[in-house]
Structures are given as structure tokens and as C-alpha cells.
Amino acid sequence: MSKQNAAFIDHGAIFRLIRDEAGIVRSHVAARVGISKSTAERMAQALVDAGLVIETDGADSRRGRGGIGLSVRPESPCAVGIDLGASHVDLAAVDMAGGVTHAVRERIDPSMTREALLAVLETASARLLDALHAEGRRVLGIGFGDPGVLDLAGGVSLSATNLPAWRGVPVVAHLRERFGVPVRLEASPRVKCLGEARYGAARGVTGFLLVDLGMGVGLGMYSRGRLYGGEGGCGGELGHMVVVPDGPICACGGRGCLEAVAGSAALVRDARAALAGGAPGMLRATPPEALTARHIIEAADSGDRLAQGIVNSAVRTLGIAIGNVCNLLNPRMVVLAGGLSKAGSLMSALETVVRATVLPVIGQALAITSSQVPDTGGVLGAAELILGDFADAPLSSLAESRACS
């Protein structure tokens, strides 16, 4: 490796460390990155001179007595993160330090046409970018979390079970042409996984799974410090693992998929069917068309037998599926995210089933926890697709971008 390339890597390593540990003192940087103190001093100073890092007084014990802390400049370049869901789309501007400077949520309807969905995305993105440009902020690009099956090489969303019209959409080319900035596309569960690795419960964990329990069942896989999505970018489709052959028809067209058996929509479907058949219980107090998974879980927590039966069946199926994936991949952590992850009783029961399914040697080292990022955390991971690329760039590129801001 040339000295020039080694220097670029050192700058990137130091910049990433400062991003991860705001306030770290210069004397600690060399040991953490694995370079000499003089080299670390020189590289850190170069980042300060480039206007990307600022010095702060080291007042707490972690920084060391009298130390000078290093942090990412708050006015650093930012990225726009977009996370498209089945009922809404979240957008946010995120700076290099992880600060959210602007946030927008727009409601959408699964029955909307492709053109209508694109119009919502374009209008909201334009409004956000206009606000950033008015403040003189440098926008590095757009990271897009997509709910569908993707062609990552082509930048195309192939199909999304919860958004029937969202098919064959050239997301990358469309947004790049419309806004003139770099665009990165990734599956929504994977951007949530990246957000959890950067800002949430999995910080510092090099291998973990994120299970997204929303309308469907999504999976994000993080291995050796990187997202993993399979050779073509379509890996991790946990929700379409067949768990009941000849079971309920799934929105993907198959039968017996995990999300068709145990996802939020499946809970509601089963409850409505039982009520239509005359089953008694607390759920009768809610009109069938207004019934949600939350109603069912709350009724189960209150002792309703119908709701308990539905929830227990879903928990058992989900827990066995997640446990089997753990046996296959041997992660150090499972992070449970999405609407259902907020139901404490359900999560406790789910963990019991997972631990009963995994091999003891895997279970001993396995942590199971809930997400520690907000419901809008998908935008953090989506923005990190762009911010991470920037942090890995050579110092000359970093300084050039700063000069343009």
C-alpha cells in the first residue's frame, strides 16, 4: 500500500472515530486507530484545518484531565434520508454528527398509483432540499430506504407487497435526475439496521440482526461491520420464508409466508374472521374495519382469550423463525423494531420462544433487545448510506466538499 493511500485510510479511520465518540481527546486517538501519536496528531489537525472537526475543552473524566476533545463540526455537510413505508414516508436532513436538522412525514395510501407516490416523494424532497439550500447547507446526497424487493445494481425497486403500484421504479435514476445529487438505494429493513448500528442498541456490535415487526416482517443483517443483503441485494426476506405450506395467501403471491401467518396484518385478519364467526370477547367493542394489531395485543394483555390465542400463535411462529435464523447466522444480538416491538408482553414471550429455539452455544452469547432509535429511525440509516461514504473518502475529497459548503 502506498504512503498516500495509507494516509487516506488513516484520515478516514480518525474521522469515523471522532464521529462515533464525540469529544475524544487527541491522546486517545492514536491507540484506538493503531497509528503513532505523531501521525494521529497530524491527521487530526488536518481534519481541523479542513473545517470538518472542531476542538472542545475536555472537561469530563472520560476525555482525560486537561485534554482537548475533538468533535464533528455541527455545520458539517449533511445528507437527506428517505424511508418509504406502507402508510407514510419519512424524510430528514442528517449531519455528520447524527443531528437531525429538518424532518418531514407525509401520509400515503397503499392504493396510490406509482405516479402519485412519486409526486409525494418529489414534493416533500424538494421542500426539504430548498430549506437546506436556503441555509447554505451542503447536501452530499440522498439515501433511500425502500420497502420492496430491489435490483441494487440497477437502482430499481422491483416490487413491494404493501404498495402494489410500486413496481419497476428506477428510484436512483429518477431522484438523481430530479435533484442532481448522488443517490443510494437500500431495503428499508436494512437502513433501519444501519441506523441501529450507528445510533442505537447495536453500536459497537459487528454482527447482529434487526427484525422489523411492522405491517410485514422485515430483516436487516449486519455482519463484520457491514450490511449484508445477498449477492443480488434481495437477501433477508424473512417475511417470505414459508412456515406453513399451503397456508394463507401472502401479498407476494405465495402461500404460508411468515408475514402472512404472523405479521400485524395477519393478526387483524384472524381476529376479524373469528369475530365474523361469532367468537365472543373484548374485541367486539371495536368495529372490525377499525381493528388494529394494537387492539389485539392490548386485549390479550387484559386476559381476553380470543386475543391471547391469536397473539400466542403468532409469537410462537415468529420466535421459531427468528431462532432458526439465529442458528443459521450466529449473531451476537437481535434487535426487535417496528410497531409490535413496543408491546412489552409480546416481546418477552417472543424472546422466550427464540431462546428455546436456538442452540445453547449460540443462545449463551445472544442478546435480544428492542430498538433504541425513534420510529423515524429509518431516515438515520438511509442518510448514513451517504454519510458513511463521505466519512470513508480521502481527505482531499473531504476538504473539497467542505470548501463547497
- Please state the rounded mean pLDDT for residues 301-307: 93
- Of the given ranges (52-61, 104-113, 350-359, 379-388), which has the lowest mean pLDDT? 52-61
Listed residue (286, 294, 324) closest to 311, CA to CA: 294
- Of the given ranges (129-133, 142-146, 401-405), which has the lowest mean pLDDT? 401-405
Evaluate the CA torsion angle 297, 299, 302, 304 in order and state its sign. negative
pLDDT(403) > 50:
no
Q: How far apart are CA 101 and CA 134, in angstroms?
A: 13
pLDDT 10s digits, 182-200: 999 999 999 999 999 988 8
pLDDT(2) > 60:
no
In this structure, the number of other CB atoms found within 10 A of the CB of residue 38 comes to 9
- How confident is residue 180, by pLDDT bands cut at 50, 70 and 90? very high
Evaluate the CA torsion angle 379, 193, 199, 41 in order and state its sign. negative
In this structure, the number of other CB atoms found within 10 A of the CB of residue 3 comes to 7
What does the pLDDT read at residue 112?
A: 94
- Please state the rounded mean pLDDT for residues 99-103: 88
Q: Over the range 80-113, which residues count as b (16 or more CB within 10 Å of their CB) and which as e?
A: bbbbbbbeebbbbbbbbbbebbbebeeebebebe
CB 127 within 8 A of CB 365: no
Q: How far apart are CA 34 and CA 31, in angstroms?
A: 5
What does the pLDDT read at residue 404?
A: 43
Identity of the residue numbered 272: R
pLDDT 10s digits, 107-117: 999 999 999 99
What does the pLDDT read at residue 62?
A: 46
What does the pLDDT read at residue 393?
A: 62
Q: How far apart are CA 99 and CA 121, in angstroms?
A: 22
Residues paired with residue 91 on neighbouring β-strands, in sequence order: 82, 104
What does the pLDDT read at residue 249?
A: 93
- Please state the rounded mean pLDDT for residues 134-161: 92
What does the pLDDT read at residue 256?
A: 95
What does the pLDDT read at residue 63?
A: 43
List, edge to edge, every strand of the sheet that includes 208-213.
Answer: 226-228, 217-223, 208-213, 333-337, 367-370
**pTM of the full structure:** 0.84
Q: How far apart are CA 342 and CA 292, in angstroms?
A: 14
What does the pLDDT read at residue 347?
A: 84
- Please state the rounded mean pLDDT for residues 355-377: 90
pLDDT 10s digits, 209-248: 999 987 789 999 999 888 888 877 778 889 999 999 999 9
pLDDT(53) > 50:
yes
pLDDT(258) > 90:
yes
CB 265 within 8 A of CB 216: yes
